[in-house]
Amino acid sequence: MANREGAAGKAGSPWTYGAKMGFRCRDRLDRDVERESRDAAVNTIHRVCCLAAVSGLSPAAFAAEAVAETPLDGVAPTVELAPAPLGEAPVLGLTHSARGPSQRGYGASAFGSGTFALSGEVQSESQLGGGLRLWATPLDGFILLAEAQRRANGELAPALAAQVRFWHDERWAIGALGRFKSEGFAEIEGELELGLLGSYDASGNHFDLNAVVGRGFDEAETDGELALRVGRELLGSLRAGVEGRVRYRLGGDVPLPSGRKWDVFGGPELSASFDPFFTSLLTGPSTVGVVSGVGWQSLLTFGGVM
Domain presence at residue 78: no
Q: Final residue of a domain: which of 69, 95, 114?
A: 69
Please list, in sequence order, all residues whose beta carbon lies within 8 angstroms of the beta carbon of residue 94, skipping any fewer than 6 positions away: 227, 229, 243, 244, 245, 265, 282, 299
User: Between the CA of residue 284 and those of 95, 102, 245, what are the distances in Å?
Assistant: 15, 31, 11
pLDDT of the chain along its 306 residues, tens only? 444 444 444 445 555 555 555 556 566 666 766 776 666 666 666 665 655 555 555 555 555 555 555 454 555 555 444 466 677 899 999 999 999 888 899 999 999 999 999 988 888 777 889 999 999 999 999 999 999 998 776 788 999 999 999 999 999 999 999 999 987 776 777 889 999 999 999 999 999 999 999 998 877 789 999 999 999 999 878 999 999 999 999 988 878 777 788 999 999 999 999 989 999 999 999 999 888 889 999 999 999 998
Q: Are residues 63 and 90 in the same domain?
A: no
Q: Are residues 48 and 179 in the same domain?
A: no
pLDDT, position 80: 44
Domain presence at residue 239: yes
* Residue 207 CA, distance from chain mean position: 15
Which pairs count as long-range contacts for 125-131, CB under 8 Å and 24+ apart, including other chains?
A: 125/152, 125/153, 125/154, 125/257, 125/289, 126/152, 126/257, 126/288, 126/289, 126/290, 127/289, 131/156
Domain presence at residue 80: no
Q: Are residues 202 and 60 in the same domain?
A: no
**For the chain, what is the domain count?**
2
Q: Final residue of a domain: which of 34, 69, 104?
A: 69
Domain presence at residue 295: yes
Please list, in sequence order, all residues whose beta carbon lies within 8 angstroms of the beta carbon of residue 252, skipping any fewer than 6 positions away: 216, 219, 220, 221, 222
Q: Are residues 30 and 147 in the same domain?
A: no
Residues in the chain: 306
Q: Are residues 50 and 195 in the same domain?
A: no
Residue 18, domain extent: 2-69
For residue 200, give the amino acid letter. Y
Q: Are residues 164 and 298 in the same domain?
A: yes
Domain presence at residue 96: yes
For residue 83, give the 3-state DSSP assignment. coil
Q: Are residues 153 and 295 in the same domain?
A: yes
Q: What are phi and psi of 298, to 5 degrees?
A: -130, 135
Q: Are residues 19 and 159 in the same domain?
A: no
Domain presence at residue 15: yes
Q: Are residues 65 and 137 in the same domain?
A: no
Q: Are residues 90 and 21 in the same domain?
A: no
Give the Cβ contact number of residue 76 at 10 Å: 7
Q: Are residues 46 and 162 in the same domain?
A: no
Q: Are residues 25 and 146 in the same domain?
A: no
User: Nearest-CA neighbor of 157 among 178, 139, 130, 136?
Assistant: 130
Residue 115 sits at the vertex; the CA angle it makes with 280 and 214, to the nearest 5 degrees, is: 75
Domain presence at residue 137: yes
Q: Final residue of a domain: which of 69, 95, 110?
A: 69
User: Nearest-CA neighbor of 148 among 122, 195, 183, 113?
Assistant: 183
| CATH at residue 204 | 2.40.160.40
How many angstroms separate the CA atoms of 8 and 13, rounded?
A: 7
- Alpha-helical (H) ranges within the chain are 2-11, 14-55, 59-69, 85-88
Domain presence at residue 133: yes
